Each structure stands twice: as C-alpha cells, then as structure tokens.
Amino acid sequence: MYKLFFLSILSFCLACGTASRNSNQNDKYKNDFTSILNNYDLKGSILIYDPQEQEYYSNDFEWADRGFLPASTFKIPNSIIALESSVLRSDTSILKWDGQKRDFENWEKDLTLREAFQTSCVPCFQEIARKIGVANMKTYLNKLHYNGMDVRTENMDSFWLKGNSQISCFEQIDFLERFISKKLPILNTTRETMLRVFLIEEGKNYKLSGKTGWSYNEIDNNGWFVGFLEKDEKKYYFALNATPKDPKRMEKFAEGRKQAVYDALKTMKLM
C-alpha cells in the first residue's frame, strides 16, 4: 500500500514538471534586465532558465511568480489539445475564414495552423476552442497539468483573454520544459508538429521558438513573450511578462516584449 502511494506521488511529481522552483535563483543579470525593460518603457519580469546549470535568472522573481491571464500564449496548449483530440491534423491544417471583418487584414483569409499561430489569429483559436468543447478542454488541461484556467461554458472562447485564468512566468517555463523534454503525455507527432508551429527563426547553430501574448483587463495592458532557445545542443527557456510603464505611451509595447528577450539573451551571450 505504501509502495503504491509512493509511486503515485512520484508519478505526479514527474508529470508536474522538470523545471524546479527549487533551482537556484540568480540575480546576476538583475540590473541588466531592468535596464533592458526600461529601454522599452516596460516594467515587469524577464525570467530565463538554464536547465544545464539549473539556474533561473531574472530582474524580479516575485513578479515572475505572479499569475496573469495567459492571453495568446494559450495558443500553445490550445494547439496541442486540438492536435491530440483530432480537431486539427497537422501544422498545415486549414482554418477557414468565415468572411467576417477581423481586427487585422492578415487574419481575413484561410490560414494554416502555423500561420494562425504566428499571426496570433484570435478568432481562429476561439473557433478551435469551441470545437474542442468544455469537457475535452478541461480533461486535456488536467492531463497536461496546465493549471489555473477558469473554463466554463459561458467563457469557452475567451477564458484565456479575460476573467480569472492565471499563469506565471515560472509556470510558463515549467510547461515548455516538459514539452521539450518529452514529459507531456502527448503523441510524438503532436510534439513534432508543434516544434514546426513554434519556430520563429533559425540560424547556423541555433533555433528560437516562442509565442507572444497581450491582454487588457480594463485597467492596464499586459504582455508576454515565452519560448525556448536551442543552441549547440543546449536548451534555454524564457518568459517575459510586462506592462507599459506609462499606459499612455504604448509605442514600444508590442515589439518591446520580444526585443527585450532578445536583448536579455544577448546580454547572457546566448545569441
């Protein structure tokens, strides 16, 4: 009986992640990361995890542990669940445009999954969520240990954009590392498809993959950029969460989310 109990606890711990919150929290780059955020008129946290050394680096570990709406970073589990449940078949599956006016012109056409992911087509992924359905969404989120989502019938196509759903920078990295290290209970075909969907750029000795997010809770704007860098057979994970320092100065916000992470990785001599 005790052996079964121990094995159950061990299995649960393995499923819940590999990026341990007990890994060392190093403030070596605290001032550098703060300066980078200031350059883009942002306040928040850049969190970078080096699993080879089991070191987290950040300018603000408390911010990195706070929960925020996942916004479009939820397109990551949404895509995985769609593939696992056969709502979508591959990264080239076509998401049909219904002909309705959308916020951006590049959303007003049929898109592949990868194109919808890269252009962050909100209506596309709302339709995907509706096709998955409440019961399946809850089942898969529980299976993936993607916690903190408030999924109900009435908010099925918006729970990641507004409301009470929350995820932290630490949790974003935990999920990404479980994905990369094959700790998520998903098909290999799903994983390989998502690696193609994720990819942003590829150089001679590196690949950078990730997803941005942007939410507005009627008080302030909140932005994400989460992902991973594969370089020289090593992997590094990042999660930025930030808000504009001045709500009236939004000029740098959209691009600043991504560029701040690029600058941080360059500061660490990883890019």
For this structure, is 72 an active site residue?
Answer: yes
How confident is the prediction for the chain on average, in pLDDT? 92
pLDDT band at 19 (very low <50, low <70, confident <90, very high): low
**Predicted TM-score (pTM) of this structure:** 0.91
Record the tokens describing residue 176, joined without a space: 């990404």
- 56: exposed, middle or buried (Cβ count in 10 Å: 0-12, 13-18, 19+): buried
Q: Which region, left, alpha or beta, applies to residue 52 given φ > 0 means left and ψ of -120 to 50 means alpha?
A: alpha
Q: Which region, left, alpha or beta, applies to residue 32 given φ > 0 means left and ψ of -120 to 50 means alpha?
A: alpha
Q: How many residues does the chain have?
A: 271
Nearest residue to 242 via CA among 233, 227, 254, 234: 254
Rounded to whole angstroms, the Cα distance separating 221 from 200 reads 24
Query: Is the per-residue pLDDT at 10 higher than 80?
Result: no
Q: Do 95 and 124 touch, CB atoms closer than 8 A?
A: yes
Which residues, at least 6 apart from 50, have a Cβ–Cβ distance to it below 8 Å? 56, 57, 236
pLDDT tens figures, 56-104: 999 999 999 999 999 999 999 999 999 999 999 999 999 999 999 999 9
Range of weakest confidence among 100-109, 174-183, 199-208, 245-254? 245-254
Q: Which region, left, alpha or beta, applies to residue 260 given φ > 0 means left and ψ of -120 to 50 means alpha?
A: alpha
Rounded to whole angstroms, the Cα distance separating 177 from 181 reads 6
How far is C-alpha 122 from the chain's CA centre?
15
For residue 117, what are the CA distances in angstroms to 113, 176, 267?
Answer: 6, 16, 28
pLDDT tens figures, 145-170: 999 999 999 999 999 999 999 999 99
pLDDT band at 178 (very low <50, low <70, confident <90, very high): very high
* Residue spans of alpha helices (H) in the chain: 2-16, 30-39, 61-64, 75-84, 113-118, 122-132, 134-143, 169-180, 188-198, 253-267
42-50 and 234-244 strand pairing: antiparallel
* Residue spans of alpha helices (H) in 58-112: 61-64, 75-84
Largest separation between any pair of C-alpha atoms in the chain: 61
Which residues, at least 6 apart from 35, have a Cβ–Cβ distance to it below 8 Å? none
CB atoms within 10 A of CB 6: 10
Of these residues, 20, 35, 58, 72, which one is catalytic?
Answer: 72
Query: What is the dotted CATH code of the domain comprising 24-268?
Result: 3.40.710.10
Record the tokens describing residue 98, joined without a space: 């219904």
